[in-house]
Amino acid sequence: MRDVAIVAFAQSPSVRSDTQRNEVEILMPVVAEVREASGIPKGEFDFICSGSSDYLAGQSFAFVAGLDAVGAWPPVSESHVEMDGAWALYEAWVKIQMGYADSALVYGFSKCSLGDLPEVMAMQLDPYYQTPLWPDAVSMAALQARQCLETGAVTAEQMADAVVRSRANAKSNPNAQLSGDVDREKLLAEPTFVSPLHKHDCSPISDGAAAMVLVAGEKARQHCERPAWITGFAHIMEPMDLGVRPLTESRSTAEAARRAGVDAAKLDVAELHGPFSHQEILLEQAIGIGSSTDVNPSGGALAANPMMAAGLIRLGEAAARIHDGSAATALGHATSGPCLQQNLVCAMEGR
Amino acid sequence: MSEAQLVEALTAPHKLQYTYKRSVGPVMGRFFTALRDEGKILGVRREDGSVMCPPKEYDPDTAAAISEMVEVGPGGEVVSWAWVSEPRAKQPCDRPFAYALIKLDGADTPLLHAIDCGREDAIRTGMRVTAKLADERVGHITDIRCFEPEA
């Protein structure tokens, strides 16, 4: 395995609706920021990989607009995933592992405010059995939450506590959308939204973007004082159909963490991508996170959830704790699909 | 030419969607045909003998090709549910309803569908429901209009 490190990370503020800028205009400042931070100028990246979704932009090949702005002339080596930018990062990491690149620029972006996001999300489902029923993303998550609550896998108090933690941690994150001091009992007393979920159990709808730079080998130290070295990287997908996989645990997260060589007892920081409060708890359980690990110091997805970037932001927030020296080991997690269908784990350390 | 004709605008339908046509294959094809023509719900038998509904061509755990169809339902049991108090226009019911995972009689895995029972306190996990078929069936999952509490 080649040593590869995250040497720069930037994100836009997450906002409910950016009425001034289009997707590309939200993206470009963060791309400029990581170019500047890494010292790698435009045109000098061996590989560029992005994550975005035509379904959110409402037009086919929407990612081309982003690529045009990032710069595709003279010709560049480039790829795109219709997934969260965390999977674009995975592709870039594989490319570097294969020896086809020594550096990569990765980004993810979306403007979720343009449509009815929970309804748009129904289009990622099985087109024969599920999408024609238009089960929105909140309803799908609510089916999982009820099973978790009724089997005792997760308690209502744990769900409220995840929200309390998220909002409190987000107070020190200027890019977060929701932050502040909230009270567990008050949260529990709120009316339900899509029962059994409350509105606060759901991540907000966010416009936003994030970018990251990967560099291989000792050269990484030329671009970053304290690079976040990737020690393990894996992603696993489960069946989409909710009926044929256990919903009260995240098997794929547990397996991805195992393959990434995660030692939960030695984790300083874990940034988990749980778009719904019960999912954050399932993820903690799957990885075996204990009380010595700082979970979601950024506030996590419950505080800001720009689709196609929120997973990449988790990895970036984890890397940022290595960069600033506050953590020696960190884990970034990203999820995709309904009810934690697919999960990615990236383990990193400072040396 | 009258004034009305002069101001008449040329219009054409525009749907913001991908115009894919999909073929459903040998297993889902039989499911949708049986549902449309006979009003029957079919599952598929897996290698371990259990029955999966909705049926797929491959076993999700072993990836084995499977094709033995078994009639299931139309009654079944609620495994989980989500109460939609403000339905969207495209959703199966125009009054508050539940999305639910429903394990049909004879099946071992639950099907995602809608339950029309009027009020949230009229549904609970474990409750018996039965499929209500659409009057005109076209071979889509919406040929099951919804599920209703068993009488």
Quick one: three-class SS letters along chain A?
CCCEEEEEEEECCCECCCCCCCHHHHHHHHHHHHHHHHCCCCCCCCEEEEECCHHHHCCCCCHHHHHHHHCCCCCCCEEEECCCHHHHHHHHHHHHHCCCCCEEEEEEEEEHHHCCHHHHHHHHCCCCCCHHHCCCHHHHHHHHHHHHHHHCCCCHHHHHHHHHHHHHHHHHCCCCCCCCCCCHHHHHHCCCCEECECHHHECCCEEEEEEEEEEECCCHHHHCCCCEEEEEEEEEECCCCHHHCCCCCCHHHHHHHHHCCCCHHHCCEEECCCCEHHHHHHHHHHHCCCCCCEECCCCCCCCCCECCCHHHHHHHHHHHHHHCCCCCEEEEEEEECCCCCEEEEEEEECC
- Residue B14, CB-side half-sphere exposure with 13 Å CA sphere: 4
- Asked, for residue B8, whether it belongs to a domain, the answer is no
Contact A192 B83 (CB under 8 A): yes
Task: Report whether A253 contacts A314 (CB < 8 A).
Answer: no
State the smallest CA–CA distance between residue B55 and chain A in angstroms.
Answer: 10
Tens digit of each residue's pLDDT (9 = 90 or more) over A278-319:
999 999 999 999 999 999 999 999 999 999 999 999 999 999
State the smallest CA–CA distance between residue A12 and chain B in angstroms.
Answer: 29
| Amino acid A96: pLDDT | 98
Chain A residues in contact with B99 by the CB 8 A cut-off are 133, 135, 139-140, 142-143
| Amino acid B8: pLDDT | 83
Cross-chain CB nearest to B101 (options A60, A116, A243): A243
Task: Report whether A88 contacts A107 (CB < 8 A).
Answer: yes
The DSSP result for chain B, as a single string, is: --HHHHTPPP------S-------HHHHHHHHHHHHHH--EEEEE-TTS-EESS--SB-TTT--B---EEEE-SEEEEEEEEEESS--TTSS-SSSEEEEEEEETT-SSPEEEEE--SSGGG--TT-EEEEEE-SS--SSGGGEEEEEE--
ipTM for the whole complex: 0.94
- Predicted confidence band of residue B2 (pLDDT cuts 50, 70, 90): low
Distance from C-alpha of A8 to C-alpha of A5, rounded to nearest angstrom: 9
For chains A and B, count residue pairs whose Cβ atoms are closer than 8 Å: 99
Q: CB under 8 Å to A55, separation ≥6 — which residues? A: A120, A123, A124
Q: Output the CA torsion A43→A47→A52→A57 (10° steps).
A: 40
Chain B residues in contact with A241 by the CB 8 A cut-off are 54, 56, 60, 109, 112
* CATH topology agreement for domains A4-115+205-223 and A118-202+229-349: yes
Distance from C-alpha of A238 to C-alpha of A242, rounded to nearest angstrom: 10
Task: Report whether A276 contacts A201 (CB < 8 A).
Answer: yes
Protein fold of A118-202+229-349: Peroxisomal Thiolase; Chain A, domain 1 (3.40.47)
Report chain B's mean pLDDT, rounded to a whole number.
Answer: 93
- Predicted confidence band of residue B10 (pLDDT cuts 50, 70, 90): confident
How many other β-carbons are positioned within 10 Å of the β-carbon of residue A54?
Answer: 13
Q: What is the mean pLDDT of residues B104-132?
A: 98
- Predicted confidence band of residue B21 (pLDDT cuts 50, 70, 90): confident
Residue range A4-115+205-223 forms a domain whose CATH class is alpha beta
State the smallest CA–CA distance between residue B133 and chain A in angstroms.
Answer: 14
Quote the domain boundaries for residue B111. 23-149
Q: What is the pLDDT along chain A (351 residues), one digit of tens a residue?
A: 999 999 999 999 999 999 999 999 999 999 999 999 999 999 999 999 999 999 998 888 889 999 999 998 899 999 999 999 999 999 999 999 999 999 999 999 999 999 999 999 999 999 999 999 999 999 999 999 999 999 999 999 999 999 999 999 999 999 999 999 999 999 999 999 999 999 999 999 999 999 999 999 999 999 999 999 999 999 999 999 999 999 999 999 999 999 999 999 999 999 999 999 999 999 999 999 999 999 999 999 999 999 999 999 999 999 999 999 999 999 999 999 999 999 999 999 999
Angle, vertex CA A313, rays to CA A310 and CA A317, nearest 5: 145
Residue B1 reports pLDDT greater than 60: no
Task: Report whether A46 contacts A77 (CB < 8 A).
Answer: yes
Contact B112 A134 (CB under 8 A): no
CB within 8 Å of chain A, chain B residues 19-58: 22, 24, 28, 32, 52-54, 56
Tens digit of each residue's pLDDT (9 = 90 or more) over B28-57:
999 999 999 999 999 999 999 999 999 999
Contact B52 A116 (CB under 8 A): no
Cross-chain CB nearest to B84 (options A139, A150, A196): A139
Distance from C-alpha of A222 to C-alpha of A314, rounded to nearest angstrom: 24
Task: Report whether B111 contacts B53 (CB < 8 A).
Answer: yes
Chain A residues in contact with B54 by the CB 8 A cut-off are 128-129, 241, 243
Contact B28 A128 (CB under 8 A): yes
Cross-chain CB nearest to B88 (options A119, A130, A132): A119
Ordered by start, the domain boundaries in chain A are 4-115+205-223, 118-202+229-349
CA B25 centroid distance within chain: 17
Number of domains forming the structure of chain B = 1
Task: Report whether A245 contacts A239 (CB < 8 A).
Answer: yes
Sign of CA dihedral A53, A100, A67, B20: negative
Cross-chain CB nearest to B54 (options A129, A135, A150): A129
- Asked, for residue B71, whether it belongs to a domain, the answer is yes
CB proximity B65 to A under 8 Å? no
Cross-chain CB nearest to A146 (options B56, B81, B109): B81
- Asked, for residue B9, whether it belongs to a domain, the answer is no
Contact A143 B52 (CB under 8 A): no
Task: Report whether A271 contacts A332 (CB < 8 A).
Answer: yes
The token duo for B65 is 């090709």
Single-letter residue type at A303: A
How many other β-carbons are positioned within 10 Å of the β-carbon of residue A190?
Answer: 12
Q: What is the mean pLDDT of residues B86-97?
A: 97
| Amino acid B5: pLDDT | 63
- Predicted confidence band of residue B4 (pLDDT cuts 50, 70, 90): low
